[in-house]
Amino acid sequence: MRRTSPRSRPAPPRRRLAALLLCGGLVAQTGCATAKPARAPQAAFAALGPGVYRGGTGEPLDPAALDALLLAARVVLVGETHDDLEDHRVQDEVHARLVAVHELRAATEGGTARLAVGLEMVQRPFQPALDAFTAGAIDEPTMLDQVEWSERWGYDPVLLRPIWERARALGHPLVALNVRRELTKRVASVGLAGLSPEERTDVVELDLDSPAYRAWLKGIFEEHGAPGEGAPFERFVEAQILWDETMAATAVAFLAERPDVAAMLVLAGRGHVERGHGIPDRIRRRRPEWAGDAVVTVIPARPGARAGQAIAERWGDVVWISGAPAGPG
């Protein structure tokens, strides 16, 4: 293992880097690709209606089974397409269920019911603004201004409002997970080797040896007519891994420093969650004792072929099918 240390409404216009990075661009576009013919069991899974299913097997999870799975997890990650209202509705339901099951356990068995919500949408230097918001010291417009939401994220904050309002009402922390945009842009431009010593102080431990992840990115690039090799591709991979590793490292460090927090819900783009290549595997590398269902990924889907693919290929530990069919592909 090679390491180095130190969519709802249309998306707003993005810079070239942001258009390429997984959280808001290239992977989100893969749904536009021509669908391949479904094969069993994928074809059978594609016929499933709204419900919650185990990735890989298609086993239905009834409310009790889902609650037990969520309760056992230290980290639950829910992927999203950033401007997709239905994806955010699923995230909100997962958060509400997590709150309910932890409150019930605390009431019957003792312990803490406090949950953290980790946000890809906010970069780490802006944590004080989230702390002030959850403490009731500032209101939402002030918080959004202080985290530079419009400039650094840009999607409608109403999509996440129910979650952070619930967290604030309960006194639960919101956690800024993301690396500074300036650093990912710099890596995409000059690569990790081109960073200055000062820039390297913000680089967490990185595992750059991820063949499955690289192969997946290569396939996506080539589907869209871009070469999956050469210096630009290598810099893209480094920037993406820096992004994933920073979010994983921040989540793990927060939970280690806060024994009063029972678990964390991570909200991030699908490309950082699907198939486990991004944040989930990097959390598990840092905390190998979090095996099995201690780290759970949830992928929202619509009924149809892509839901069948998501289950068959285990894009998430849980595939949550809701809403109306997404149409072809």
Quote the distance between the C-alpha of residue 52 and its chain's center.
18
Residue with token string 């953290």: 116
Does 28 have pLDDT greater than 50? no
User: How many percent of the chain have pLDDT more than 90?
Assistant: 75
Q: What pLDDT is recorded for position 5?
A: 44
Q: What pLDDT is recorded for position 215?
A: 87
If you average pLDDT over residues 303-312, what whole number do you get? 96
Does 325 have pLDDT greater than 90? no
Does 113 have pLDDT greater than 70? yes
Does 193 have pLDDT greater than 90? yes
CA nearest to 163, candidates 268, 68, 252: 268
Least confident of 10-14, 119-123, 323-327: 10-14
Query: Where do the structural domains in the chain lie, given as residue ranges?
Result: 43-321
Burial of 117 (0-12, 13-18, 19+ CB in 10 A): buried
Assign 294 to helix, strand or coil: helix
Q: What is the C-alpha separation between 52 and 62, in angstroms, rounded?
A: 7
Q: Quote the tokens at residue 229.
A: 């090799």
Q: What pLDDT is recorded for position 17?
A: 38
Q: What pLDDT is recorded for position 4?
A: 47
pLDDT tens string 240-269: 999 999 999 999 999 999 999 999 999 999
Q: 214-220: long-range contacts at Cβ-Cβ below 8 A with a sequence spacing of 24 or more?
A: 216/275, 216/277, 220/26, 220/27, 220/30
Q: Top-level CATH class of 43-321?
A: alpha beta
Residue with token string 């149809």: 304
Does 225 have pLDDT greater than 90? no
Identify any residues that bridge with 319 across adjacent strands, giving them in sequence order.
53, 299
Does 22 have pLDDT greater than 50? no
Residue 42: CB partners within 8 Å, gap ≥ 6?
Answer: 305, 308, 309, 311, 312, 313
Q: Is the pTM of this model over 0.85?
A: yes
Residue 272: CB partners within 8 Å, gap ≥ 6?
Answer: 22, 23, 79, 120, 243, 244, 247, 278, 279
Q: What share of the chain is helix, strand, coil (3-state, %, to 5)?
A: 50, 15, 35
What is the distance in angstroms between the CA of the first residue and the CA of the last residue of the chain?
A: 36
Least confident of 100-104, 181-185, 235-239: 235-239
pLDDT level of residue 39 (50, 70, 90 thresholds):
low
